[in-house]
A and B are shown apart, each in its own frame.
Chain A
Amino acid sequence: MECLKVINPGLFTSVQDMGRFGYESRGVPVSGAMDEFAFRVANMLVGNVENAPVLEMTLMGPTLEVMQDTVVAVTGAWMNPLVNGVERPCWSSFPVRKGETLSFAPVKTGCRAYMAVPGGFEGDVVMGSVSTYTRGSIGGIKGRRLEKGDVLSLKRHTLFTHFFKVKEEYIPHYSAEEEIRIVPGPQHDYFSREAVELFLNSTYTITKDSDRMGYRLDGPAIKAKEKHDIITDGLLPGTVQIPGNGKPIIMLKDAQTTGGYAKIATVISIDLSKLAQLKPGDRINFRAVSLQEAHQLLKEKEEVLNKIKEILVPLRYFDVTVNGRAFNVGLEIL
């Protein structure tokens, strides 16, 4: 069912779900939403199953023409949605009506925003997922980012007419410098203790050569004890590789499944969401945590997601006129 028409695609907007699993042994990257936390909350806000396809919008949001009444939720980077130019809240859901224009204010903080609709967006299902992997031209809309004139369809029509916002205390705040937690390994023994300490005590800057495949970092070079090349083996989103020039590369969702550089560390899974909200020029400080600690943090994050779902704050929208100007205001229902 046709729902939204792309007037302007924005900088890099693509259809993503949780990712493509089970084909990594055949060289297929997992892809999927870079910020899983924001992705899952966006789906919660419109009553979707967790893995429903959404739009991932990068730094500059798209302009869309609404082709049929529906509900929209926006989470992630702080780029306020605008309905016919009137601001709507982030981390909330709100109605859009046929004929309206949905656009986005310039990004204030963060890098990637997520837009969910009830039922999820339709896209090419390839190997069990609609996640767009542009380098392999699969998934989403013809395997590419959105282009002007594309029409996005809903997977099915749902009568979802509730509006919610996420309780303030659970909304993440993004900044231009983040602490990223890692578990050392699998090949941290390729590096001396001094080299590992230099890696942990330095500030790294995300370079322009950074995208959904990985972030190349600039900062102090980390030298391996002997060599940087290993016998090619498996990697996953979060793997930190140190190539011959010593500058770390963090592999992300569109990363290839194998690599031949020593892997000094792996970013803990919940901090991939933090990474997703950093952009070129932003800074990273790594901190080592134990595996036990990482598992505890994952458990806590899962509890937060459950709480968010339990206590979504219902909203009601009203049309009001003040001094002859029309506004549509979302109010919390007590």
Chain B
Amino acid sequence: MYKIPRILPAGDKAVVVEYGNEISEECNKRVLNLYSALKRQDVTGITSIIPTYRSLLIKYEPLKLTVDDLTALIAKSDMSTSVEEFKAKVIEIPAAYGGDFGPDLEIVAEYHNMTSEEVIKIHTGSAYRIYMLGFTMGFAYLGGMSEKIATPRLEKPRTEIPAGSVGIAGSQTGIYPVTSPGGWRLIGKTPVKLYDPHRENPILLEAGNYIKFVRITPDEFHEIEQHVNKNAYEVKTYNYDG
């Protein structure tokens, strides 16, 4: 991690603020602190901000905000965010494991010489940090999965993976927000919609928060799914306390 963030040009309407060249919670926290500080100030001329693992892409209107003023603002905001600006929350994601919900669960268990139950226990055992969103609408890059269940991707990707599928790829875990092709090992599925373009809050997850998977039965899955379809389901959230 750098002592002072680097500010790099990204064309005439954006800059990149880079805090380091690593994937670490510490580095990502600095990113999200600056993100919160800038969002809170609601600066005229900043059109949007994309926080990522170790940097932010800040888009601006140079005719409203000069690059010098923006640079000064970034430096000032970065200095003043020594206290934790971003208050992280935990979002509980109910997921059914195995069977049709997670057709690769047994393969993952065999790969590690454990039972399916053990895989589920490890997967639901800790909260995963949402480092960033990207790649596709609503896709969260999660960190913190145990190496004990890290499993290589499929050699031949599936052509269609239903939205809500929970998978493992190497030491990453994640949820498919929309139906798409992919090579992740599928271990479960959530009835919760991470992405719904017509909902008031179209994308459920936000960088800096945490996900905790909670195991549900197939019956509970169908019950929650019905509520979700009626737009009458709310995920459980609480403050993250480390």
Contact = CB atoms under 8 A, between A and B. Distances in A.
Interface of A: 21-29, 126-127, 136, 138, 182-187, 231-236, 238-239, 256-258, 263, 266-269, 291, 294-295, 297-299, 302
Given A25-B207, A238-B11, 19 more contacts: A21-B48, A23-B202, A24-B57, A26-B133, A27-B135, A28-B202, A126-B202, A136-B137, A136-B197, A183-B9, A233-B57, A234-B52, A234-B55, A236-B11, A256-B134, A258-B135, A266-B9, A268-B11, A298-B63
Contact of B203 (A28, A29, A232): A28
Contacts of A266: 9-12, 14
A274 B54 CA distance: 33
A254 to B, nearest CB: 12
B139 interface: yes
A27 B138 contact: yes
Contacts of A182: 11
Nearest to B198: A126
Contacts of B178: 136
B202 to A, nearest CB: 6
B55 A233 contact: yes
A266 B138 CA distance: 25
B56 interface: yes
B134 A269 contact: no
A294 B11 contact: yes
Nearest to B20: A231
A322 to B, nearest CB: 49
A116 to B, nearest CB: 23
3 closest Cβ pairs, A-B complex: A234-B57, A258-B134, A266-B11
B8 A186 contact: yes
A256 B55 CA distance: 17
A263 B48 CA distance: 20
B48 A268 contact: no
Nearest to A263: B10
Range, interface on chain B: 35 or more
B62 interface: yes
A24 B58 CA distance: 11
A183 B134 CA distance: 24
Contacts of A231: 21-23, 52-54
Contacts of B54: 231, 233
Given A126-B197, A232-B53, A232-B141, A21 B14 contact: no
Given A23-B202, A136-B178, A298 B12 contact: yes
12 contacts: A25-B49, A25-B207, A27-B134, A27-B139, A28-B202, A136-B136, A136-B178, A185-B8, A185-B9, A232-B134, A235-B10, A291-B9
Given A266-B9, A267-B11, A302 B63 contact: yes
Interface string B25-62: 00000000001000000000001111111111101001
B10 A186 contact: yes
B132 interface: yes
A268 B134 CA distance: 23
A252 to B, nearest CB: 13
Q: Among the interface residues B12, B13, B35, B202, which one has the most CB atoms of the partner chain A within 10 A?
A: B12
A23 B56 contact: no
B198 A236 contact: no
A26 B11 contact: no
Contacts of A298: 12, 62-63
B67 interface: yes
A174 B202 CA distance: 39
A183 B11 contact: yes
Contact of A27 (B13, B57, B67, B133): B133
Q: Among the interface residues A21, A258, A266, which one has the most CB atoms of the partner chain B within 10 A?
A: A258
